[in-house]
Amino acid sequence: MNKKNELKGRCACGNVNFKIENSPLFTQACHCKNCKLSTGSSFVIHTMVMEEDFKISGDVASIDLPTGSGQGYDAYFCIICGVYIFCRYNISKGRIAVRTKTLEEPIEPQAHIFVKDKDPCIEIKDKTICHDTMYDREKTWPKESLDRIK
């Protein structure tokens, strides 16, 4: 483990704190309707990390929610302030998606997905990272990240 790569984050009230002990795999913004509903906002930004690299303290509650694919996911919230910290997709074993904006250090999205459902008030400058729906992971993720999930 390289300490320099370590990222830290927390919920709004400070009950939940977490660390990501290795480089994240990929960061993406999703503009789909499910993500709008779960955030009450225009889009979500998720940073995918290996579950073994994620260390959390403080009590969280979880709920099973639907996804566009129908596979569903478990979302984890701070039991006090309700901030949504991370989720575990049923189709992505061994990996979790951290809510990027709970991290101390900003990470820019490497892709925007479900741009077909994007709110008109949102303008994404870099069109080359926009995808109407989902991308092909083999063509979009850095090779280093693809190797880590094999």
| Nearest approach, Cβ of residue 74 and Zn ion (Å) | 15
Give whichever of 80 and 149 is closer to Zn ion, judged by the CB atom.
80
Beta strands in the chain (DSSP E): 7-10, 17-20, 26-30, 44-50, 54-57, 60-65, 73-78, 84-89, 95-99, 111-113
- Span between the terminal Cα atoms of the chain, in Å: 19
Give whichever of 13 and 91 is closer to Zn ion, judged by the CB atom.
13
Q: Tell me, what amino acid is at 128?
A: T
Question: Applying CB under 5 A, which residues contact Zn ion?
Answer: 11, 13, 15, 30, 32, 35, 78, 80-81
Of 50, 51, 48, the closest CA to residue 28 belongs to 48
Let me know: does 110 contact 45? Beta carbons within 8 Å: no
Give whichever of 5 and 133 is closer to Zn ion, judged by the CB atom.
133
| Nearest approach, Cβ of residue 67 and Zn ion (Å) | 7
| Nearest approach, Cβ of residue 59 and Zn ion (Å) | 9
| Nearest approach, Cβ of residue 85 and Zn ion (Å) | 8
Give whichever of 20 and 35 is closer to Zn ion, judged by the CB atom.
35
